[in-house]
Structure 1
Amino acid sequence: MTQLIEIHKENPQPRLINQVVAIVRNGGLVVYPTDSGYALGCHIGDKAVLDKIRRIRDLDKNHDFTLLCRDLTELAVYARVDNLAFRLIKNNTPGPYTFILRATAEVPNRLKHPKKKTIGIRVPDNVIAQSMLEALGEPMMTTSLVLPQQDDDRVLEPYEIYELLDGRVDAVIDGGYCGHQETSVIDMTSGYPEVVRYGAGDPSLFE
């Protein structure tokens, strides 16, 4: 049975954060707020949960997943970052951007792009998400919560997400409204930034 957990968006209750983190550590799948809408999150190494996410979102095996990191120090463990990329990412995180970077050996192969060996990484500007990462002590594997039957212009409330995914995820965090536009995606693998998706983050900073 899915738990619906209401967490204060500005002052997250540590007890509830630890409750959610315990679910993630034990192989659970959670819905949580970011600075660009709600997302699905799980432990970085959990293949079974990855397959569950693919079924929920009706994704093919080549879909690119993202690592949610606390900060640049953690990001640098999982991605190769040159000086230009470091400066640009530092100046624009935390924020609603996903950066495509070359993955290090710390990233499980199933999360890397099968040919390019890249990984998407983001640092969220959301207090609940940051509190979860702090308590977890490592990144989460994540993807935006976009359901196959969902109207692009329709913003789902947490209780609606709970009703739609009851029994399919382990917990839904109600963290209030947190936006609905997906992140801007910036490819940093060529040495220069390339905007590959326009979203919530200002793309002009990379053009």
Structure 2
Amino acid sequence: MAKILKIYPDNPQENYIDQVVKTLRDGGLIIYPSDTIYALGCDINNLKAMEKLASVKGIKLEKAKFSIICNDLSHLSEFTKPIETSTFRFLKNHLPGPFTFILDANKNLPLAYKGAKTVGIRVPDHSIPQLIVEKLGHPIASTSIRDDDEILEYSTDPELIAEKYDNLVDIVIDSGYGDNVASTIVDLTSGEPEIIRQGKGEI
């Protein structure tokens, strides 16, 4: 049964964040708020947790394209090929923010991303995921929570999300209603920004 933690971005309780980080280190799955929609996350370096995350989404891990959630741009060189100054400046101008940027991956990606040529990087403009990543010491893998509803594409009510995922995740962070518009996905692999999916962020 998932534990529900009420954590609000303007004053996140440190002991709750510590509980979330411990759960991630132990291979657990969390549901957390962001500057766009609620999302599912796990420790990027824990292969078992990554397999669990793929299983909850109903896909095979090798087919999964989970975003990498960072708290700033300092993690970029760990996962991506060297970035041109103009591209880095572009990223800096738009992050933190509601964007997922597709970049060329390097060979140091965690095991679960083995063989991936590109990787989606996200730095949400939201204190809770930023704090979690900062305390964990490295990024988390993430995927959005979709809704079965035909009108709403994404689930926004944390209580309903907690009901639905009760036996599938370890912690649900309730931060009030979320947004129902996902991030804008921008491909930067050619050097020029190409919008793959228009979401909340404007380029």
TM over 0.5: yes
- CA offsets per residue over residues 75-107 of structure 1, 9 Å max, x none? 232222222210110000000000001112331
Percent identity over the alignment is 39
Find out whether 1:173 has 2:177 as its counterpart: no
Residues 102, 120 of structure 2: 8 Å contact kept:
yes
Q: What is the alpha-carbon distance in structure 1 between the residues aligned to residue 19 and residue 121 of structure 2?
A: 25
Partner of 1:87: 89
Q: Are 2:120 and 1:120 aligned?
A: yes
1:1-207 matched pairs, under 5 angstroms:
1-60=1-60, 61-80=62-81, 81-111=83-113, 114=116, 117-147=117-147, 149-153=148-152, 155-202=155-202, 205=203
Paired residues of 1:112 and 1:119 also in contact (CA < 8 A) = no
Q: How many residues align?
A: 200
What amino acid does structure 1 have at the position aligned with 2:10? Answer: E
Cα separation, 2, equivalents of 1:103 and 1:40:
22
Letter of the 2:87 partner, please give it: A
Moved over 4 A (4+): none
Q: Distance in 2 between matches of 1:183 and 1:8?
A: 21
Q: Structure 2: which 5+ residue stretches go unaligned?
A: none
Q: Is the 8 A contact 1:28 1:49 kept in 2?
A: yes
Using the alignment, how far apart are the partners of 1:168 and 1:23 within structure 2? 14
CA distance in 2, matches of 1:183, 1:87: 20
Cα separation, 2, equivalents of 1:170 and 1:57: 15
Distance (Å, rounded) in 2 between the aligned partners of 1:29 and 1:7: 17
Q: CA deviation at 1:11?
A: 0.9
Contact in 2 for aligned 1:64/1:113 (Cα 8 Å): no
In 1, Cα distance between the equivalents of 2:173 and 2:149? 19
Q: Report if aligned partners of 1:70, 1:124 keep a CA contact under 8 Å in 2.
A: yes
The structure-2 alpha-carbon separation of the partners of 1:66 and 1:110, relative to structure 1 and needing over 3 Å to count, comes to same
Change over 3 Å in CA distance of 1:113–1:176 after alignment to 2: farther
Q: Provide the C-alpha distance between the structure 2 equivalents of 1:34 and 1:150, rounded to a whole number of angstroms.
A: 21
Looking at structure 1, the residues matched to 10 and 93 of structure 2 have their Cα atoms a distance apart, in angstroms, of 23
Q: Cα–Cα, structure 1 residues 105 and 152, in superposed 2: closer, same or farther, change >3 Å?
A: farther
Structure 1 residue 49: Cα displacement? 2.2
Q: Secondary structure at the match of 1:37?
A: coil
Cα distance in 1 for partners of 2:165, 2:106 equals 33
SS at match of 2:38: strand
C-alpha separation in 2, matches of 1:200 and 1:132: 23
